[in-house]
Amino acid sequence: MRRFFMNDEELGKKDDDHRTVKNSLRPPNWHPARVPPRRSLKRIGLALLAAVLLFVFFKNIPVLGPDARMRRPNYAYSESPANVPRVRPPTRESSPPRTQGPGVERTFNGPVKFPDLAPTLHAITGTRGSMVINRNVLFAVSSLKSAATLLPVACQMASELKSYVHFALMSRSDIQFSELRSINGISDHCQVIFHDARPDYASISIDERMEHAVFRAFHHINIYMHPQAIIVDGSDDEELYFSRASRHHSKATQSTLIELPQKSTRSLTWMTKLDSAALRMWDKNQIDIIVQAQPGSSGSLIRLLKSLNAADYPSSSVPHLTIELPHDVDPPTKQFLESFLWPPSHVNNPTHARYLTLRHRIPDQRMTEEESSIRFLESFWPAHPQHSHVLILSPRAELSPNFFHYLKYSLLEYRYSTVSTYQQWAHRLFGISLDQPAQLLDGKEPFSPPTMLKPSSAEEGNEVEISTPFLWQAPTSNAVLFIGEKWVELHDLVSRSLAAKRDAGDTLALLSEKLVSTKHSSWLEHALRLCRARGYWMLYPGEDMAQNLATVHNELYHYPEEYADDEKPKPPLLSDDADDEEAEAVRQRIQSGSEIPLAPVALLESLPNGGNLRPFGDLPLVTWDGQPTDAEELKSLAEQYATEFRTKVGGCDAASSEEQRKKKEDKKEDILAADLFCGVE
């Protein structure tokens, strides 16, 4: 102990001088006691302290927020904007106070921070927001009026369970999310993930700071969420700074921005049925409309154009309209076109551009089948086949105000949704018809649309037949939307077929065969050949749905120009010697007519299955000649016809035909018809 306290060197020296030699000698069996040095004691103490700290840390390990429920997306609502409890940041005593009221001065322009955004963004890792392609859809608002408009839409979309639906608030208001939900009648069952994207001191910030804050908020959200579509209020209820920032961000990131037009929320409720993949394509599709007028059809043409002008066009690109005029234009048609506006005045068109093209035919002589087909098909070419489509309208058609809603809904669901894409159904879709034909393509036999059986609510165990949409291999030309890729393939097939016909003369019996009545345009024969060779089908509406989309008037029907010589005078329906019973039958026939009367209602009210479009696999399938079939049989029939076409038209033998078929299977994304012709790459 004495040596332990002696730190002075001299004291140690004096102590040595007092020692005797005898005392300095150590016994042979003596060993010094091993006492840990002071440095080792310090290390042991630090190690114990570190162990205690690690134990405390792991016992209270931090998660993605103050609540363990934030380890994964949680859709159960609690008293916070993010569906999870959280601690608000302390009051900033040195910062400008948060004041409200109509007389508040908005002069603050400091750096932007988002005190409540990070925890909720960190909590959505389970939605795979870091991936560019995911299932996230974002609703964003700044105005409380816009929040009242979009909140029910967001909850409805979330209830469909097809996407992760998020709702971001970028407002100046200090309102709590619980209060916002309560005011708008949003219950706890709403499966929406809420995000508080309001910047600090929003109530006193200038508009430029708020616009910058909205842009940055979208940027942060995009990093963690990558929303497939951003849905905002496009009406005047929304704040101007928010609208500008959202458009700038959409342009910078090439993301899909859906601006819901004013007073159109109810008519667009069908969009809640779409998944994120379909919504991503909302503004990436362009539809062109082509109307091919005939001589002496001024009344029908004017009726069609009026129905086009009165229709409702949802938030998307404005369709381009092309009217093919004959050589002789009737005076009523000239006068009407002088004042005809397209797009209509009620459609949002900020650039005031005209999307109307008039084409006047120069030759006055009657066209042949080949000339008519070429002239018609050359009237449109898709700039981007995957996104550009064409709507063909006969002057005899009359459209419902909701027709474009149905077209857009069906196109997005059946062409771009996740289910249709991954199940390989979409590549068989040739087009979408708005009307339901009454006859087969030969014009001789009536067509009986298939029906579905539905349990009767009156008596258990009984079933009743109901109308349903169906898939038919036969194309039509009255009112139909053709998919852009199929239009390109049809172009290629017609080009190669005409070249093969010129080389072989009139010896190609398959190309000379007429399966389509001369009541239809000649190009429809080529379309039927393509559908039969590929196993393509057209989507037709059921009878109940068709009367809410379009009708075709037949009272002033004229044969196509190339078949004008085949037109015969119609015999009178009532002969002179008809009795009272026959006269009554004729009267009822005239009164009912063969056309479907228009009875337009809201789109979802006319759709079966609660407004959800039935998947392709649940729809009845019919061959081109009206026989019920299934997908496997249709595929087999298509392979047989393709082999026959290659042999009789394409110049192939059995071996080369099989080789061409395998090439087509290896190149499923090829949209040309080269495999149907041998010796052509």
**In the prediction, which pLDDT does 99 show?**
45
Q: Cα(135)–Cα(473) distance, rounded to whole angstroms? A: 33
Give the pLDDT score at 629.
94
Whole-number Å distance between alpha carbons of 658 and 664 = 10
* pLDDT > 70 fraction of the chain, expressed in percent and rounded: 78
Does residue 548 register a pLDDT over 80? yes
Q: Residue 164: name the closest of 131, 210, 205 by CA.
A: 131
Q: Which of 4-13, 285-294, 344-353 has the lowest mean pLDDT?
A: 4-13
- pLDDT, residue 643, reads 93
Predicted local confidence at residue 178, as pLDDT: 92
Which is more confidently placed, 480 or 510?
A: 480
Q: What is the mean pLDDT of residues 8-12?
A: 46
With a CB cutoff of 8 Å and minimum separation 6, the contacts of 291 are 301, 304, 305, 321, 322, 323, 324, 393, 394, 395
Residue that wins the pLDDT comparison between 571 and 541 = 541
> For 150-178, b where at least 16 C-beta lie within 10 A, e where not — what string?
bbbbbbebbeeebbbbbbbbbbbbeeebe
| Environment class of 370 (CB within 10 Å of its CB; exposed 0-12, middle 13-18, buried 19+) | middle
Q: In what order do the strands lie in the sheet with 356-360?
A: 356-360, 320-325, 286-292, 388-393, 479-482, 429-433, 537-540, 470-472, 621-622, 628-629
Secondary structure element (H or E) that encloses residue 287, with its range: strand 286-292
Instruction: Name the helix (H) or strand (E) containing 215.
Output: helix 207-225
β-bridge mates for residue 621, sequence order: 471, 629
Residue with tokens 């500008």: 244
Give 367-425 pLDDT, tens digit per residue. 888 999 999 999 999 999 999 999 999 999 999 988 999 999 999 999 999 988 887 78
Q: How far apart are CA 32 and CA 42, in angstroms?
A: 22
Q: 6-20, 53-67, 616-630: lowest mean pLDDT where?
A: 6-20
* pLDDT-based confidence at residue 278 (cuts at 50, 70, 90): very high
pLDDT at 545: 86
Name the range with the highest mean pLDDT among 13-22, 276-285, 497-506, 539-548.
276-285
User: What's the pLDDT tens digit per position in 90-113?
Assistant: 333 334 544 445 556 889 999 999
Q: Has residue 251 got a pLDDT over 70? A: yes
* pLDDT-based confidence at residue 533 (cuts at 50, 70, 90): very high
Residue 560 has pLDDT above 90, yes or no: no
pTM across the whole model = 0.80
Estimate the share of the chain in helix, then strand, then coil, as percent rounded to the nearest 5.
Answer: 40, 15, 45
Compute the distance between CA of residue 484 and CA of residue 467 in angstroms, rounded to an integer.
29
Distance CA 533, CA 642 (A): 5
Instruction: Say if residue 8's pLDDT is above 70.
Output: no
Please say whether the beta carbons of 375 and 363 come within 8 A. Answer: no
Q: Cis bond leading into 343, ω under 30°? A: yes
pLDDT > 90 in the chain, percent: 51
Q: For the residues 516-533, what does the mean pLDDT come to?
A: 93
Strands (E), 483-622: 537-540, 550-552, 621-622
Distance (Å, rounded) from C-alpha 645 to C-alpha 64? 63
Could you read off the pLDDT of 605-657 as tens digits, one per residue?
Answer: 777 777 889 999 899 999 999 999 999 999 999 999 999 999 999 889 888 88
Per-residue confidence (pLDDT) for residue 635, from 0 to 100: 92
pLDDT for 102: 54
Report which of residues 653 and 154 the model is more confident about.
154
Measured CA to CA in angstroms, residue 611 lies from 81, 548, 630 at distances of: 31, 14, 25
Q: Could you report the per-residue pLDDT of 581-594, keeping only the tens digit for each?
A: 666 665 555 554 45
181-240 tens-digit pLDDT: 999 999 989 999 999 999 999 999 999 999 999 999 999 999 999 999 999 999 899 999
Average pLDDT, integer, range 666-673: 76
Q: Is the pLDDT of residue 89 over 70?
A: no
> For residue 345, how many C-alpha atoms fall within 13 Å in the half-sphere facing its CB?
3
Q: Angle at which helices 523-534 and 369-377 pack, to 10 degrees?
A: 70
639 backbone dihedrals φ, ψ, rounded to 5°: -65, -40
Residue 257 has pLDDT above 90, yes or no: yes
- CA–CA distance, 500 with 191 (Å, rounded to integer): 60
* Residues 6 or more apart in contact with residue 478 via CB below 8 angstroms: 393, 394, 396, 397, 433, 434, 435, 437, 550, 552
Q: What is the mean pLDDT of the chain?
A: 82
Instruction: Give how far Cα 621 sits from Cα of 223, 302, 434, 501, 535, Å.
Output: 44, 36, 17, 33, 11
The residue among 277 and 40 whose pLDDT is bigger is 277
Place of tokens 């407004």: 611
Contacts 24+ apart (CB under 8 A), 596-600: 596/435, 596/436, 596/543, 596/546, 596/547, 596/551, 597/547, 597/551, 598/398, 598/400, 598/547, 598/548, 598/550, 598/551, 599/547, 599/548, 600/400, 600/401, 600/402, 600/548
Predicted local confidence at residue 303, as pLDDT: 93
pLDDT the model gives residue 296: 77
Domains detected in the chain: 68-87+106-280 (3.40.50), 286-455+463-568+576-676 (3.90.550.10)
Q: What is the pLDDT at residue 38?
A: 59
